[in-house]
Amino acid sequence: TAVAGGGVRGGAAGRAAAMDLFGDLRRMNKRQLYYQVLNFAMIVSSALMIWKGLIVITGSESPIVVVLSGSMEPAFHRGDLLFLTNFHDDPIRAGEIVVFKVEGRDIPIVHRVIKIHEKENGDIKFLTKGDNNEVDDRGLYKEGQNWLEKKDVVGRARGFLPYVGMVTIIMNDYPKFKYALLAVMGAYVLLKRES
Active site residues: 71, 111, 137
Q: 175-191 and 166-173 are packed helices; what angle lies between their axes, rounded to 10 degrees?
A: 110
> What is the rounded CA–CA span in Å between residue 84 and residue 35?
37
Per-residue DSSP letter, 71: T
> What is the rounded CA–CA span in Å between residue 2 and residue 19?
26
Beta-bridge mates of residue 148: 126
Nearest CA-CA partner of 104 in 68, 67, 152, 58: 152
> What is the rounded CA–CA span in Å between residue 175 and residue 155?
27
Q: Where are the alpha helices (DSSP H) in 124-174?
A: 166-173
